[in-house]
């Protein structure tokens, strides 16, 4: 293998970050680690039609890595003066960790590593593709860790006194419990026995803040614990930092499901960190989260194809294991913060196996919603992300809604305009915060309540949401049904449709209409009705499965008689 021909790893091409400056080659003696992602032993089942939640042992046997492929990487490491750091879950997670010097990594993967300076910090990077031995083409699906540039940003915004459109700051702010009541989250359950995983790439939390915050809300505090990966830690610093993202996640998910266990997964902010922590959380048999919430992301254009493909496949694995992944879809409107005059969407929210969540502006009177519109404070003040993926095709369950433009986001929304934001506590400081980082954990809390109420793991919820609402979206697109009719039907499906507003930025805009649209998705939640709709769909699926089983049993009996 050591003398074999090398070929480019598909989708691995890299260019420097805009504004980065190469300052020299990486020290050849620098020690580093990479994660080598292996192909599945057998193709993954379609998460929409598989019909069965797999255990981790079943998954390892059916969909994990081929043990022979692990041996092949062990041989590859030995031949290239690299060390394989074995965890024991290489087959399950399809991930092999290799360690060695920068010089050995450059030779093994035929790359040149350099150090770069960038306004946001220095990083080790590469240009061009990663190369692997030709006989490993059917074994290796991705290699992460050679380039350690920062990959994602938290999607939160502080409430200001004015917005760019003038003095529009309202006196309306909310505690998360006030919003869960407005959205009719069930009040007779609290998420007991459920576990929510929060994925973080910086910042930290203080338990004293958690205790004080939930005491102020007069509700029980959730159990909060930490899981760290690749030297990442729970490192709280100051209120004006990524601590806000972490505390926003804990306080909103915890307020929605205060009886739940919350695990905060910390990882380095790199492509390898994103890949590894999501894989670790999905396959975490010790803590067993059933819902994962991600409030971080970046435009699709900043990712390599191999990153998006591999992370989407981990999300597909989660679906087969009955785990729901929720992600915020960005706070920079239709451009997603890219100054190229084009529209962009945020990843990982754009993964077809993730529930993408956007933001609205919520106004109330006497405890009742009086107005809900798409969040848009302008290009500088922030606006909900939304639009169509240029990497992922529209999935089958969404095709009628998006007219096959590409995977459309968001799927759902809820209040997260900073101007009608959430009162939270960060490092001892009270503040009001919004952004789609607030919307994702609230939806994660609702799905946790749904799991408890239905006594199951709803898992990949996207198809059932669109099934409940698909006829509305289709009629709107093809027949132009009335606003009133669409809103009424949407209520039966468990959503409030936001029917006005847009997420215009300098590069373009998307507008809200009734039915699914690329700024308001299907709408905001009506919690109790949503649970009723899901219960009905589960009952139909169970009945169909039982009928199919009876039919197969009868068929086998008849065949045996012949």
Q: What is the pLDDT of residues 8-54, one digit of tens each?
A: 999 999 999 999 999 999 999 999 999 999 999 999 988 777 678 99
For the segment 259-305, what is each residue's pLDDT rounded down to a tens digit?
999 999 999 999 999 999 999 999 999 999 999 999 999 999 999 99
The 3-class secondary structure across 106-160, one letter per residue, is HHHHCCCCEEEECCCCCEEECCECCEEEHHHCCCEEEEECCCCCCCCEECCEECC
Q: Which has more confidence, 64 or 163?
A: 64
Residue 125 is encoded by which pair of tokens? 């990077």
pLDDT at 46: 85
For the segment 364-421, what is each residue's pLDDT rounded down to a tens digit?
999 898 888 989 887 667 999 999 999 999 999 897 777 768 999 999 999 999 999 9
**CB 197, CB 281: distance < 8 Å:** yes
pLDDT at 124: 98
pLDDT at 561: 53
As a whole number of angstroms, the distance between CA 521 and CA 410 comes to: 5
For the segment 402-416, what is each residue's pLDDT rounded down to a tens digit?
776 899 999 999 999
As a whole number of angstroms, the distance between CA 461 and CA 241 comes to: 32
Decide if pLDDT at 208 tops 90.
yes
Decide if pLDDT at 336 tops 70.
yes
**CB 97, CB 85: distance < 8 Å:** yes
Helix residue ranges per DSSP H, 479-526: 483-493
Report the sign of the C-alpha dihedral through residues 176, 182, 183, 188, in that order.
Answer: positive
State the CB neighbour count (10 A cutoff) for residue 233: 9
**Averaged confidence pLDDT in the chain:** 86
Decide if pLDDT at 491 tops 50.
no
- The pLDDT-based confidence of 500 (bands split at 50, 70, 90) is low
pLDDT at 48: 77
Decide if pLDDT at 497 tops 60.
no
> Torsions phi, psi of 384, nearest 5?
-60, 140
Mean pLDDT on 232-246:
96
For the segment 84-127, what is each residue's pLDDT rounded down to a tens digit?
999 999 999 999 999 999 999 999 999 999 999 999 899 999 99
pLDDT at 527: 87
**CB 275, CB 466: distance < 8 Å:** no
Q: Which has more confidence, 452 or 484?
A: 452
For each of the domains in the chain, give its residue range(s) and CATH number, in order of start.
Answer: 6-144 (no CATH), 170-537 (3.40.50.200)
């Amino acid at each position: 293998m050591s003398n074999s021909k090398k070929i480019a790893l598909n989708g691995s091409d890299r260019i420097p970050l805009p504004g980065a400056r190469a300052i020299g080659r990486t020290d050849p003696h620098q020690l580093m680690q990479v994660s080598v992602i292996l192909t599945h032993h057998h193709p993954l089942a379609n998460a929409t039609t598989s019909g069965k939640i797999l255990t981790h042992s079943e998954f390892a046997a059916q969909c994990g890595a081929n043990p022979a492929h692990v041996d092949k990487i062990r041989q590859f490491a030995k031949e290239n003066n690299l060390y394989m750091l074995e965890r024991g879950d290489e087959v399950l997670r399809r991930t092999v960790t290799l360690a060695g010097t920068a010089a050995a990594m450059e030779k093994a993967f035929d790359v040149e590593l350099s150090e770069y300076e960038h306004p946001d910090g220095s990083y080790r990077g590469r240009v061009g593709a990663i190369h692997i031995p030709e006989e490993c083409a059917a074994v290796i699906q991705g290699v992460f860790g050679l380039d350690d540039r920062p990959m994602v940003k938290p999607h939160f915004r502080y409430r200001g006194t004015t917005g760019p459109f003038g003095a529009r700051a309202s006196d309306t702010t909310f505690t998360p419990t006030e919003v869960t009541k407005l959205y009719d989250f069930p009040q007779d359950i609290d998420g007991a026995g459920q576990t929510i995983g929060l994925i973080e790439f910086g910042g930290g939390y203080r338990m004293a803040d958690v205790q004080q915050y939930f005491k102020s809300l007069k509700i029980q505090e959730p159990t909060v614990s930490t899981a760290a990966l690749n030297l990442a830690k729970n490192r709280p610093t100051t209120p004006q930092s990524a601590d806000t993202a972490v505390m926003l996640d804990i306080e909103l998910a915890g307020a929605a499901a205060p009886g739940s266990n919350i695990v905060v997964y910390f990882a380095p902010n790199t492509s390898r960190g994103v890949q590894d922590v999501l894989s670790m959380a999905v396959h975490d048999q010790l803590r067993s989260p059933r819902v994962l919430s991600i409030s971080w992301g970046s435009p699709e254009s900043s990712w390599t194809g191999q990153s998006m493909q591999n992370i989407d496949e981990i999300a597909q694995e989660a679906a087969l294991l009955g785990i729901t992944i929720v992600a915020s879809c960005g706070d920079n409107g239709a451009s997603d913060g890219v100054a190229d005059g084009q529209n962009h969407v945020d990843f990982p929210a754009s993964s077809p196996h993730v529930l993408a969540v956007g933001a609205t502006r919520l106004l109330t009177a006497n405890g009742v919603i009086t107005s809900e519109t798409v969040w848009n404070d302008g290009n500088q003040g922030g606006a909900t992300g939304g639009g169509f993926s240029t990497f992922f095709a529209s999935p089958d369950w969404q095709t009628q809604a998006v007219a096959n433009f590409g995977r459309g986001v968001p799927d759902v929304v809820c209040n997260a305009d900073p101007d009608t934001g959430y009162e939270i506590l960060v490092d001892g400081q009270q503040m009001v915060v919004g952004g789609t980082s607030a919307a994702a954990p609230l939806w994660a809390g609702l799905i946790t309540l749904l799991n408890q109420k239905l006594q199951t793991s709803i898992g990949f919820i996207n198809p059932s949401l669109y099934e409940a609402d698909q006829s509305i979206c289709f009629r709107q697109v093809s027949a132009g049904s009335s606003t009133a009719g669409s809103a009424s039907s949407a209520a039966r499906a468990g959503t409030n449709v936001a029917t006005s507003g847009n997420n215009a930025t300098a590069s373009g805009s998307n507008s809200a209409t009734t039915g699914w649209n690329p700024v308001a998705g299907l709408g905001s939640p009506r919690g109790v009705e949503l649970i009723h709709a899901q219960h009905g769909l589960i009952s139909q699926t169970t009945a169909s499965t039982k009928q199919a089983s009876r039919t197969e049993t009868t068929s086998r009996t008849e065949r045996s008689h012949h």
